[in-house]
Amino acid sequence: MAILAGIMLTTVVGFSVIDLGSQSHSGAGSGSSSSGSGGGPGSSGTGTKPPIGSFKTIAPSFYALSNVAETIVSSGYSYSGVTGTSPDDFIVIQIAYSMGGGGNLPDIAKVTDLQSSVYIMAASASLGVGSNFWEQAWTGRASAATNSTTITVIPDWPGCKAPCVTSIIIMMTISRYRGVSGVGSSIAIAPDVSSTSQSVSITATGANSMLVELLSHGAYSSCGIDAAQPATGQTSRNCLTATTERAELFDHAVTNAQSYTESFSWAQVELQRGIYLELKGNSIHNP
């Protein structure tokens, strides 16, 4: 397996924001009706009452994304980035990190922010503690509107298997979606060899969901030279090239609860990781 080169980087964390606007997709659900006795004075028999309402599921929509600069984090320290939020934003955090020295990588212990939001690990793509490249996805929900909230990633330095690295090289993207009821399916892929492609089958658990693909690689080439080429029409939301990692994010709405093949290819042979999430849509009532 190719070893990602560790180099000296600044410890100042910056960020940029990409706002591609809100996109929404909708699909009608099935209605329901009830039958009962009908008829007024001078009449008799049965009739059908008018429908009392139905539910439909609205697919989530992408809202905005922040890139947090790659940096070196020494043993015992954490890593932070800043983003804005709106109430009920569903936040998907992509974290990619590699060796800053010899030894095992630490797991991520937790992710927190200033709103006391609860973040849950949705998937983790790694070959194990001896791997030199790790990708994780964490999800949470914003509880308030703010122009600036700090999201902090805390590596599990105390639990890192000896010999542990003395530092890691880490980067993060923070994407925000709207109309998300929760995470359905999730799949992590951590190939044990470098390759020019990545493919996985993910089964949507409900109609009108959003499939999100979080891809990370060793940064042998930049986004402008060798961005991922999707095979099934995904929308590119972000591509960030750092010094030792490159992160990409795609998504697309799906209409049915079925299996979908998500495939990507590159020209350059690269060490790769991938996390695939299904964001479930919200059900709304039609009176």
Residue 251 has pLDDT above 90, yes or no: yes
Note the pLDDT of residue 219: 80
Beta bridge mates, 71: 170
Weakest mean pLDDT among 48-52, 119-123, 127-131, 199-203: 48-52
Nearest to 254 by CA among 218, 214, 201: 201
Note the pLDDT of residue 36: 41
> Could you read off the pLDDT of 27-38 as tens digits, one per residue?
333 333 333 444
Nearest to 21 by CA among 149, 249, 177: 177
Instruction: Please report where in the chains the tokens 């099935």 appear, as a residue.
Output: 30
Task: Give me the DSSP letters along 61-116.
Answer: EEEEEEEEEEEEEETT--EEEEEEE-TT-EEEEEEEEEESSSSBPPPEEEEEETT-
For 98, what's the count of Cα atoms within 13 Å in the CB-facing half-sphere? 23
* pLDDT band at residue 131 under the 50/70/90 scheme: confident
Residue 9 has pLDDT above 50, yes or no: no
* pLDDT band at residue 40 under the 50/70/90 scheme: very low
Task: Give me the DSSP letters along 186-201.
Answer: EEEE--SS-EEEEEEE
Average pLDDT (277-281) is 97
Its pTM stands at 0.81
Average pLDDT (44-68) is 76
Task: Give me the DSSP letters along 124-172.
Answer: EE-S-TT-SEEEEEEEEE--S-EEEEEEEEEE-TTTPPSSBPSEEEEEE
* pLDDT band at residue 128 under the 50/70/90 scheme: confident
As a dihedral over the C-alpha atoms of residue 106, residue 110, residue 114, residue 115, rounded to 10 degrees, the angle is 160
Q: What is the mean pLDDT of the chain?
A: 83
Task: Assess contact for 147 and 242: CB atoms under 8 A.
Answer: no
Which has more confidence, 6 or 222? 222
Domain assignments of the chain as residue spans, ordered by start: 56-286
* pLDDT band at residue 200 under the 50/70/90 scheme: very high
- Beta-carbon contacts of residue 152 (< 8 Å; ≥ 6 apart): 78, 79, 80, 111, 112, 113
> Could you read off the pLDDT of 149-182 as tens digits, one per residue?
999 999 999 999 999 999 999 999 999 999 999 9
What percentage of the chain exceeds 90 in pLDDT?
60
> Could you read off the pLDDT of 66-124 as tens digits, one per residue?
999 999 999 999 999 999 999 889 999 999 999 988 899 999 999 999 887 789 999 99
Average pLDDT (243-253) is 94
CA–CA separation, 25 and 79 (whole Å): 35
Task: Assess contact for 137 and 277: CB atoms under 8 A.
Answer: yes
CA–CA separation, 88 and 100 (whole Å): 36
For 141, what's the count of Cα atoms within 13 Å in the CB-facing half-sphere? 10
63 token code pair: 């809202």
CA–CA separation, 28 and 283 (whole Å): 10
Average pLDDT (209-228) is 91
